[in-house]
Amino acid sequence: MTDSADSPSFRLAYVPGVTPAKWARIWAERLPDTRLVLLQSSPADADGLLREGAADAAFVRLPVDRAVFSAIPLYTETTVVVVPRDHVITAAEEITLDDLADEVVLHPLDDVIGWERPPGEPAFERPATTEDAIELVAANIGVLVVPQSLARLHHRRDLTYRTLVDAPQSEVALSWPQDATTDLVEDFIGIVRGRTVNSTRGRAQETPAAEQKKDERRKPQPGGAPRRSTAAGARGRSGGAKNSGGAKGAGGAKGGGSRRGTGGGKPRRRS
């Protein structure tokens, strides 16, 4: 998972036809301190890289061994047939498997369609790889059925392809060992699933500085509320003192006048 404590890395394998550039770019933006190592692999070798711990996760084609690996299906590819540009099949934009009944259909050993029974007539010998099969198509030996991404990967000017509307399709998935779902694997799962950097799903994200500031503003400042209460109480006490003093002064003046009026009457006239 890591090269050293100071230089962590995440190793991602991918099979031909899968382009990890978009996810690699997002990874670099979100985890700039963790290097993403891309490992190109053949379909047959991808699960070996995961089993041996040589890769932390991989873009593979389904199916995978669900007893060993977890997998998140990502997308399903269109199936096409690759033919020479002057082939009769090019007269139509879409064809069916029945249209291949009389064609020699090449079936390479690294085929990813997963046929129960390939269409058309079998070739005398199975090519070792899809790349070898492409060369045989260019030599007019036969035609080749592949996912569209592989037709584009092995593009040649003298070849073209047409959609097979009723053919099996290849499904691409992100896979990793079930017993090795690490934090970095969770981070990458979030990226391929389109989660935002602040998403609460998956691995917990650290609170951004802006959110921390918001939280701090929401919290009462130490001594803030008591100071407002003390000031209000002081104003109340100050006002009460004034009112009380005024009442006493008025009462005192009134009382004093009353006492003076009672204690001192008019002088008696001498008889």
The Cα 191–Cα 28 span in angstroms is: 11
Residue 7: pLDDT band with limits 50, 70, 90:
confident
Q: Let me know: does 173 contact 62? Beta carbons within 8 Å.
A: yes
pLDDT of residue 223: 52
pLDDT of residue 199: 65
Domains of the chain: 9-76+171-209 (3.40.190.10), 79-164 (3.40.190.10)
**Ramachandran angles phi, psi of 22, nearest 5°:** -60, -45
pLDDT at 157 over 60: yes
**Lowest mean per-residue pLDDT among 21-35, 73-87, 187-201, 220-234:** 220-234
**Lowest mean per-residue pLDDT among 77-86, 110-119, 171-180, 217-226:** 217-226
pLDDT tens readout for residues 36-78: 999 999 998 999 999 999 999 999 999 999 999 999 999 999 9
pLDDT at 97 over 90: yes
pLDDT of residue 231: 44
| Start-end of H helices in 163-264 | 183-192, 209-218, 224-263
pLDDT at 131 over 90: yes
The angle that helices 21-30 and 183-192 make with each other, rounded to 10 degrees, is: 120
Q: Using omega within 30 degrees of 0 as the cis cutoff, is the peptide bond preceding 118 cis?
A: no
What's the whole-number mean pLDDT along residues 128-148? 97
- pTM given for the model: 0.70
pLDDT of residue 116: 87
Mean pLDDT of the chain: 81
What's the whole-number mean pLDDT along residues 91-113? 96
The Cα 195–Cα 149 span in angstroms is: 25
**Lowest mean per-residue pLDDT among 90-99, 181-190, 232-241:** 232-241
